[in-house]
């Protein structure tokens, strides 16, 4: 059980709570698994994270209503409770994974992205392999957020290997968190688009959403979780084995990576490439390949990827002819 304390400022409590606290009692009746206690200008909510987020949304809406109209009626409370319920029930319609903070819909846009969503629905471990900009990480994060909102999992765990691309962590300023955060920035950016900032902060403070470097996964068993390993091409074979064996009951795992952008030392094999060979054909594990056709960034990104692919093919042919 988690809890959240809301402090109401510049509010006449009788106009907000209603006669005999009828407004808060109405909210409490809509969430019987949670406990709402009002003392003075403080409201304490206790329950599971999912319900607390919904209750917090409703109370924030009521606070905004109060500051606009000077009071909150029993009918107002019912209306905001209904609106919240309709929003929650709308998640996942028409292929939509989640609704963004700007009201935009987040859903797979290409055939391979749709194949990724289907693969995750049908398998507990999925490898999504493809170049930058193909949406493999973004869609994976959206599926994780959807699973959390639908109460299919209890937490989201997102991790990346902290491998430097031409930089050295030791020379970067700050403590360990400040050194690692730039490597996790794409994950934060995706979550910022899908979850309101206050909700995201609450989720992180209560460890409902964890974002951490891969080394922090050692020794853990991850149950009832949606787990995403991003930039997996930069894992070593031992790191990949360690990560995959963290998977616990009722969990989903997505491993994303781009085998054309490996930042490991030359004498180090990529754990992603090795695992794709070792686990090929294992039941319950799927692989989805994305390519330049799936790029949803600037139109030039497709051209850049195609040009690099063509250059690599020419180099491979030159090497073979020179042997």
CB 38 within 8 A of CB 21: yes
| Residue 274 and residue 144 share a domain | yes
What does the pLDDT average to over 270-285? 92
Q: Where is average pLDDT lowest: 78-87, 172-181, 231-240, 288-297? A: 172-181
Which pLDDT belongs to residue 164?
47
Three-state secondary structure call for residue 288: strand
Average pLDDT, rounded, for the chain:
84
Q: Where is average pLDDT lowest: 156-160, 176-180, 270-274? A: 176-180
CATH of the domain at 56: 3.30.1370.10
Residue 166 has pLDDT above 50, yes or no: no
pLDDT, one tens digit per residue, over 227-263 is 999 999 999 999 999 999 999 999 999 999 998 888 8
- 247 DSSP 8-state letter: B
Six-digit token string for 22: 């009828």
| Residue 208 and residue 188 share a domain | yes
| Residue 185 and residue 67 share a domain | no
CB 2 within 8 A of CB 34: no
For the residues of 110-129, what is the DSSP string, one character each? SHHHHHHHHHHHH-SEEEEE
Which pLDDT belongs to residue 57?
84
| Residue 232 and residue 119 share a domain | yes
Six-digit token string for 39: 């003392």
Residue 279 has pLDDT above 80, yes or no: yes
pLDDT confidence band for 92 (50 / 70 / 90): very low
CATH of the domain at 144: 3.40.50.300
| Burial of 259 from C-beta contacts in 10 A (0-12 / 13-18 / 19+) | middle
| Residue 105 and residue 228 share a domain | yes
| Residue 165 and residue 22 share a domain | no
- Which residues lie closer than 8 Å to 300 by C-beta, 6 or more apart? none
| Residue 138 and residue 84 share a domain | no
| Residue 214 and residue 78 share a domain | no
Residue 42: give the domain boundaries: 2-89
Residue 91 has pLDDT above 80, yes or no: no
Quote the CA–CA distance of 227 and 230 in Å, as a whole number: 10
Quote the CA–CA distance of 253 and 19 in Å, as a whole number: 50
| Residue 207 and residue 71 share a domain | no
pLDDT, one tens digit per residue, over 102-161 is 667 788 888 899 999 999 999 999 999 998 888 899 999 999 999 998 889 999 999 988
Per the listing, tokens 């000077």 go with: 70
Residue 299 has pLDDT above 70, yes or no: no
| Residue 107 and residue 67 share a domain | no
């Amino acid at each position: 059980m988690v809890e959240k304390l809301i402090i109401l400022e510049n509010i006449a409590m009788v106009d907000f709570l209603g006669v005999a606290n009828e407004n808060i009692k109405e909210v409490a009746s809509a969430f019987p698994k949670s406990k709402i206690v009002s003392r003075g200008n403080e409201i304490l909510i206790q329950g599971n994270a999912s319900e607390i987020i919904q209750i917090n949304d409703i109370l924030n809406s009521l606070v905004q209503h109060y500051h606009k109209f000077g009071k909150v009626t029993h009918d107002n409370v019912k209306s905001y409770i209904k609106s919240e319920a309709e929003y929650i029930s709308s998640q996942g319609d028409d292929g939509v994974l989640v609704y963004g903070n700007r009201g935009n819909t987040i859903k797979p846009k290409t055939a391979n992205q749709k194949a990724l969503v289907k693969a995750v629905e049908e398998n507990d471990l999925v490898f999504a392999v493809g170049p930058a900009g193909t949406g493999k990480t973004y869609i994976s994060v959206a599926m994780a957020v959807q699973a959390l909102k639908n109460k299919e999992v209890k937490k989201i765990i997102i991790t990346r290997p902290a491998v430097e691309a031409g930089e050295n962590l030791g020379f970067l300023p700050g403590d360990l968190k400040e050194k690692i955060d730039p490597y996790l920035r794409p994950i934060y950016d995706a979550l910022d688009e899908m979850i309101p900032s206050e909700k995201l902060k609450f989720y992180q403070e209560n460890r409902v959403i964890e974002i951490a470097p891969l080394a922090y996964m050692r020794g853990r068993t991850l149950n009832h979780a949606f787990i995403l390993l991003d930039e997996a091409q930069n894992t070593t074979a031992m790191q990949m084995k360690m990560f995959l064996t963290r998977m616990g009951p009722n969990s989903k795992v997505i491993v994303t990576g781009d085998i054309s952008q490996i930042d490991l030392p030359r004498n180090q094999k990529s754990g992603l490439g090795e695992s794709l060979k070792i686990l090929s054909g294992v039941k319950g594990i799927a692989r989805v390949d994305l390519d330049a056709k799936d790029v949803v960034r600037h139109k030039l990104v497709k051209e850049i990827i195609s040009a690099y692919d063509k250059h690599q093919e020419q180099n491979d042919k030159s090497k073979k002819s020179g042997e």
